[in-house]
Chain A
Amino acid sequence: MRYLPLTPDDRAEMLAAIGAPDVDALFRDVPEAARAGDLFDLPLHAGELEVERELAGLAARNRSAGSGPFFCGAGAYRHHVPASVDHIIQRSEFLTSYTPYQPEIAQGTLQVLFEFQSQVAALTGLEVANASMYDGSTACAEAVMMAQRVTRREKAVLCGGLHPHYAATTRTIAHAEGMEIVRLPAAVDGEAALLHAIDGETACVVVQTPNVFGAVANVTRIAEAAHAAGALLIVVTTEAVSFGLLKSPGAMGADIAVAEGQSIGNALNFGGPYVGLFAAREKLVRQMPGRLCGETVDADGRRGFVLTLSTREQHIRREKATSNICTNSGLCALAFSIHLSLLGEAGLRQLAEANHFRARELKMALHAVPGVEILTPRYFNELAIRVPGDAAALVEAALADGVVAGVPFSRLDPAAGLGDVLLLAATETTTSDDIAALTRSLQRNLGR
């Protein structure tokens, strides 16, 4: 077995040093009834070639996003990631290190986390950010729990444009804690309903922009209404590239901003691993979940970084911790941070503009398709359209033309009654040819 260094001679020598007759003696505390005698009914060990063959065979049965016109978004986005990003994250010292509990020999990871936190704070327009969450949806749920701790209120109002998976995740966790979750009906523009739903019992208002329908909103009025009622405003973003072009959550009055960071530095990976971004106003820092990295000095007065404010965390506070999170998304945060360092201020803006440019091209092309109604007034890189008939069937039909036409809204929320709504995203990877193939397919399948 190529991964096991001990030889039979080693094992015999070691057993002798221990004073055990055989390895079974080391398992003597396992009750007799619970010892598995035989090998389990699974294949025996396999060489690299054999494993590679099996997995390559499985991979070949999937259609990768890059293999043709592709318009899926809805919380995960296909972007080009520079080759150097993946190369650096495979450095042994990043890939195979643990959580940086011994700061003297983990300054690499710690400095990266400090830089990551600084980048996330800047992007979101807020003062502090943590060292990452599992993904955007769990970050959203944690933000709602944090609002409960800050306000000591039990009600969260979720806007109708919040990604249905985020709403479901938040409901699962917040409901367990006894919170009341008010989820407004799915709507491209839900501001009026949201303003109406805020009251003196509200702990937080959760607004997504760009929302699941691709709609970009100015949430300043919602922030004012939330604050007037003593509630916090949580702004959710599932497309982190949009920060490069749009007003930041902090600038619009958000108290907490959470986002899915996958778009920057990370592959689609069929849904994970991703990286949750979590930022907040400085005065809320002691109620934040997750790890925080802070600056300090060493015994010689040299600058260094450590994990800090750990008294919020489960390994110190146990049942009184702000969250149960332990492992986070360190390596995905590293990929995010490298990609963002490569982009910089100028590159991120250019990338965001390229995305919006493609979405605008997509919008104009869809506009020309008879029967298609564009539902998203102001968009970043994603649009919701209404089609005659069932959007899921249309996606299946387009597949026969070699086009992955987007995400039918019914897949995210079958109960919403929006079976004719299709979500389409365009990014810098989308070409004019892709858009032409899409519109040809839609025209054909919509029977015009």
Chain B
Amino acid sequence: MSMNTVGRPTRPEASSSEDRATLTGGRGLLQDEPLIFELGGWRKTGVDLPVVDFDASDLGDLVRAEPIGLPGLSEPEAVRHYVRLSQKNHAIDLAIYPLGSCTMKHNPRLNEKMARLPGFADLHPLQPQSTVQGALELMHRLAHWLKTLTGMPAVALSPKAGAHGELCGLLAIRAAHEAAGHGERRCVLVPSSAHGTNPATAAFVGYSVQEIAQTTDGRVDLADLAAKLGPDVAAVMVTNPNTCGLFERDILEIARLTHEAGAYFYCDGANFNAIVGRVRPGDLGVDAMHINLHKTFSTPHGGGGPGAGPVVLSAALAPFAPAPWVVHGPDGLALQEEASGEAAQAFGRLCAFHGQMGMYVRAYAYMRSHGADGLRQVAEDAVLNANYIKARLSDLMTPAFPHGPCMHEALFDDRWLEGTGVTTLDFAKAMIDEGFHPMTMYFPLVVHGAMLIEPTETESKRELDRFCEALRALATAAQAGDSERFKQAPALAPLRRLDETLAARKPRLTWRPEPTAVAPTP
């Protein structure tokens, strides 16, 4: 999930913290680390390669004559550079990472170990299929688990992330409509609280987007949905549990109305972790749903990816799934790689090769470790943890939807900050000084100054209490008028607030040598 911070570019006050300045720029264990372009040498390398008797006669004038401009580092220098940089990052391994809708949970190391077995990591996607039967079997088992957990008859594994999965689902929906002679359906309905990827994907597929209103209790407005459903609507995209952290109570009615109008029901499965093992989307009338393996099934986020976004499909949409998929053949398992034969209706290919195998191995190891019982416990503990946070903070902060339980995330608005001079952004930045990563801010857009907290099931009660105590102390300070603490925050992070306005106005996206620098001569 994305955070909307950059929608409100910040320009920090130019106040100084010179009293904290050191002579070198280093701070305790944190070094001021230059760029590789400032560190590296143009002739230096950290890899010993065979010196070959190079002959360029088969390349002629295609050989590069100009230097590329790449710095090289020896191995000790490289290791130090990246380890120093790593120390400037927050990580789930350090503390709770309460980004609502992002689902930052513990990443088991067994999964890393399994994905690195040469029998998985050192496999070429196009080597003979008789030499990859174990890999195909793993894909087959993963598909079985995903189908069973969702109660859906088919799954397309190849999408590479959640948004890619949305694309897959909507392309299947589009292909199904066209096959039925309903190509005139060109509109997708999306609630105002949806992730930005939903409308972006719909537009990417060539659909127009119409917003569905939200009720005061944070759910889809059924009357508005019914009014907007018509012969032009191809699909309704609903996130469930939704981005307010609430289960759509009328989900069965939403599905019924959608189908009655001849449209398909796409469910954004980003929050599947809240219901896995307890609710099957297939029982809710869903036609297509992507599953972020990097959320619900804990493949690591890696600072922004890679993810994996398999899409489960209803019987109506299954024939349109993209190639490839695993089938039983005469000589064991086989990959159906072309849209022909039994795949004649497939809408095409979403990417080269077969998807995110490295993520499949990790996700499957996670599922097998938890089992049917553990996965159900995952959902229950995730929901319990979120409700605990909501209960512990609701007397100081204002929950956006105070009545009834939340699901896996607790949503607060900024009414409780009124008159304090402190904004949601300030509050988040002050959390950094207390050693915590902020929650998701200003999302969903339907709640003013939103603060969306998702603890996940892998936080202990002790860590939750530590987090709640910190937030309570900060809230008390804000309400007591200590606004300076917030405006100046963070003061203790590797950097203070960054000038995002400057970055956007005069973009510097790559390193450029200083005018005085000597050009490299390899």
Contact = CB atoms under 8 A, between A and B. Distances in A.
Interface string A1-12: 111111000110
Interface residues of B, number: 223
A66 B520 contact: no
Given A91-B86, A315-B3, A341 B78 contact: yes
Contacts of B124: 65, 70, 72, 76, 78, 268, 270, 404
Interface stretch (B127-135, B258-266, B473-481): B127-135
Interface in A118-137: 118-119, 121-123, 127-129, 131-132, 134-137
Interface string B10-53: 00111111100100010000000101110011111111011111
B310 interface: no
B449 interface: no
Contact of B72 (A14, A346, A379, A407): A346
Interface in A265-299: 267-273, 275, 285, 291-299
Given A172-B349, A343-B45, A404 B128 contact: yes
A88 B82 contact: yes
A105 B45 contact: no
Contact of A44 (B72, B120, B371): B371
B498 A298 contact: yes
A378 B58 contact: yes
A228 B278 CA distance: 61
Contacts, number: 755
Interface string B70-99: 111101001101110111111111100101
A88 B294 CA distance: 20
Contact of B196 (A33, A315, A396): A315
A269 B120 contact: yes
B37 A118 contact: yes
Given A23-B384, A65-B123, A104-B493, A42 B148 contact: yes
B125 A357 contact: no
Contact of B43 (A171, A247, A315, A346): A346
Contacts of A313: 2, 196
Interface centre among B97, B125, B303 (most CB of A within 10 A): B303
Interface stretch (A182-190, A191-199, A332-340, A439-447): A332-340
A42 B372 contact: yes
B301 A99 contact: yes
A404 B52 CA distance: 25
Interface centre among A67, A102, A121, A260 (most CB of B within 10 A): A102
Nearest to B306: A273
A201 interface: no
Nearest to B40: A344
A89 B78 CA distance: 12
Interface residues of A, number: 210
B359 interface: yes
B62 A82 contact: no
A404 to B, nearest CB: 5
Contacts of A311: 7, 504
B348 interface: yes
B392 interface: yes
A87 B123 CA distance: 20
22 contacts: A13-B461, A18-B384, A23-B383, A76-B353, A78-B124, A90-B112, A92-B94, A102-B428, A165-B352, A260-B352, A271-B357, A272-B354, A273-B305, A285-B507, A294-B503, A302-B495, A308-B507, A309-B504, A310-B6, A315-B4, A327-B304, A331-B304
Given A298-B495, A341-B40, 20 more contacts: A18-B390, A31-B249, A58-B138, A65-B123, A86-B116, A98-B304, A270-B123, A270-B132, A270-B353, A273-B160, A298-B496, A316-B196, A324-B163, A326-B197, A331-B305, A343-B45, A354-B50, A356-B59, A357-B53, A357-B54
